[in-house]
């Protein structure tokens, strides 16, 4: 009897408090309908206030890229908020440069929609859509890298080098969906599908899902395209450096340039530890032989004896330094781990490529 009374009274108190909180949320968090003016009146939305700008916009099918899903840890969901955003929050400060602060850039996941807003959204975000895809093919690239082909229900328009976000379904002990970003490795002209190269990360939520739980024919939601890592066409030569699954966007850019018949020269450095980490080698070697404008330089940092490796050996930075003489007319495209990218940026700037002409995707 005592136990019953205890349980009942504690639950009663908790319930009453919960109801109180819900009621006060209704009262205090009710900002009524607000109007969001996008790009100086090009588009206006009437939405219910009270939640953050990122989720308000995604509710209206405008997808702002965000890697962390609104936790203020990635700093990707930046938007220009010209009016109605209120003051900068302490959670946003670390992600914004002084110039961005001056331009009223905010993190859309932190900004709560309380009043009429005037915001600017880059045009390319309107191209971002949600796609219900079917996995059409899965192939092993290396011992820990797989390539997936996602068939799309409608055409996608993207620039070579951009990425999409994959939404996982709950699996095993994981009860929540997560979003993770992966670069597209297929060419933009192949617009009824996208291919992604995904490397298994030990205990990675999404990579484990993709590697172990997704089978051919499975339905997977993706959104995209996102990102400003794409080829600028004002260079004579692209210096491209990748490691691991960083090959994906580079492959897309190379194929795109060759397909369009542009005369941009390209040199592609691919860094790996040993031969078992290399993939698409024959493919790129053939392109190298076929096209004068393209050269392919795979480099191993630590080849084993069985590898019989005759190519370049050493850190990718040393190999790049050996091949690149000067930075004239060149642009850098880097994709790989932050350590590799930072090291490569300093090599390329030493060679005379301005930092503003080096584009990269860190992961």
Residues forming the site for another protein (CB under 8 A): 2, 5-6, 9-10, 13-14, 17-18, 20-21, 24-25, 28-29, 86-87, 89-91, 112, 114
Q: How far is the CB of 9 from another protein (least distance, A)?
A: 6
Measured from the CB atom, the residue of 20 and 82 that comes closer to another protein is: 20
Q: Which of 232, 293, 225, 224 is nearest to 259 (CA)?
A: 293
Q: How far is the CB of 115 from another protein (least distance, A)?
A: 10
Q: Which two tokens stand for residue 194?
A: 């996208």
Q: How far is the CB of 55 from another protein (least distance, A)?
A: 17
Measured from the CB atom, the residue of 22 and 82 that comes closer to another protein is: 22
The SS3 assignment for 36 reads: strand
Q: How far is the CB of 218 from another protein (least distance, A)?
A: 41
Measured from the CB atom, the residue of 8 and 82 that comes closer to another protein is: 8
Q: How far is the CB of 44 from another protein (least distance, A)?
A: 24
The sign of the torsion formed by the CA atoms of 259, 125, 336, 240 equals positive
Measured from the CB atom, the residue of 12 and 262 that comes closer to another protein is: 12
Pairing of strands 129-140, 117-120: unpaired
| Distance from the Cα of residue 351 to its chain's centroid | 28
Q: How far is the CB of 77 from another protein (least distance, A)?
A: 19
Beta-strand ranges (E) seen in the chain are 33-38, 43-48, 78-83, 105-107, 117-120, 129-140, 145-151, 163-167, 179-183, 193-199, 219-226, 237-243, 265-272, 294-300, 312-313, 330-336, 358-362
Measured from the CB atom, the residue of 87 and 292 that comes closer to another protein is: 87
Say if CB 350 and CB 356 are below 8 A apart: no
Q: How far is the CB of 112 from another protein (least distance, A)?
A: 8
Starting from the edge strand earliest in sequence, which strands make up the sheet with 145-151, in order?
179-183, 163-167, 219-226, 129-140, 145-151, 193-199
Measured from the CB atom, the residue of 40 and 87 that comes closer to another protein is: 87
Measured from the CB atom, the residue of 112 and 276 that comes closer to another protein is: 112
Q: How far is the CB of 20 from another protein (least distance, A)?
A: 6
Say if CB 246 and CB 363 are below 8 A apart: yes
Measured from the CB atom, the residue of 26 and 260 that comes closer to another protein is: 26
Q: Cα dist. 120→79, 112, 145, 203, 347 in Å?
A: 7, 16, 38, 38, 36
Identify any residues that bridge with 132 across adjacent strands, giving them in sequence order: 221
Q: How far is the CB of 49 from another protein (least distance, A)?
A: 11
The sign of the torsion formed by the CA atoms of 91, 227, 251, 316 equals negative
Please provide the distance, in angstroms rounded to a whole number, between the alpha carbons at the two ends of the chain.
Answer: 58
Burial-class residue 148 by CB neighbours within 10 Å (0-12, 13-18, 19+): buried
Measured from the CB atom, the residue of 26 and 132 that comes closer to another protein is: 26
Measured from the CB atom, the residue of 28 and 155 that comes closer to another protein is: 28
Q: How far is the CB of 85 from another protein (least distance, A)?
A: 12
As a whole number of angstroms, the distance between CA 25 and CA 331 comes to 52
């Amino acid at each position: 009897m005592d136990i019953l009374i205890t349980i009942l009274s504690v639950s009663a108190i908790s319930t009453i408090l919960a109801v109180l909180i819900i009621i006060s949320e209704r009262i205090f968090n009710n900002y009524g309908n607000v109007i969001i003016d996008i790009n100086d009146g090009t588009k206006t939305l009437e939405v219910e206030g009270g939640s953050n700008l990122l989720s308000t916009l995604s509710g209206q099918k405008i997808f702002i890229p965000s890697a962390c899903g609104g936790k203020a840890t990635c700093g990707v969901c930046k938007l220009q908020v010209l009016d109605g955003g209120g003051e900068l929050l302490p959670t946003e400060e670390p992600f914004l440069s002084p110039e961005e602060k001056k331009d009223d850039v905010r993190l859309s996941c932190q900004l709560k929609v309380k009043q009429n807003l005037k915001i600017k959204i880059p045009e390319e975000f309107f191209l971002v859509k949600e796609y219900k895809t079917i996995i059409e093919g899965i192939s092993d690239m290396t011992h820990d890298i797989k390539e997936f082909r996602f068939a799309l229900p409608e055409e996608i328009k993207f620039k070579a080098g951009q990425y999409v976000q994959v939404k996982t379904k709950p699996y095993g002990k994981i009860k929540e969906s997560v979003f993770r970003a992966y670069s597209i490795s297929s060419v933009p002209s192949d617009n009824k599908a996208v291919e992604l190269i995904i490397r298994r990360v030990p205990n990675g939520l999404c990579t484990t899902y993709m590697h172990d739980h997704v089978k051919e024919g499975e339905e997977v939601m993706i959104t995209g395209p996102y990102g400003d890592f794409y080829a600028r066409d004002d260079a004579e030569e692209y210096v491209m450096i990748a490691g691991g699954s960083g090959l994906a966007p580079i492959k897309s850019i190379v194929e795109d340039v060759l397909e369009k018949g542009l005369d941009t020269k390209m040199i592609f450095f691919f860094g790996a530890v040993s031969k078992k980490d290399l993939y698409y080698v024959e493919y790129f070697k053939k392109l190298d032989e076929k096209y004068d404008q393209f050269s392919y330089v795979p480099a191993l940092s630590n080849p084993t004896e069985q590898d019989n490796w005759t190519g370049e050996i050493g850190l990718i930075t040393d190999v790049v330094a050996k091949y690149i003489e000067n930075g004239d007319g060149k642009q850098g495209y880097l994709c790989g781990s932050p350590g590799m990218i930072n090291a490569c940026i300093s090599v390329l700037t030493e060679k005379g490529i301005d930092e503003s002409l080096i584009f990269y995707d860190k992961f």
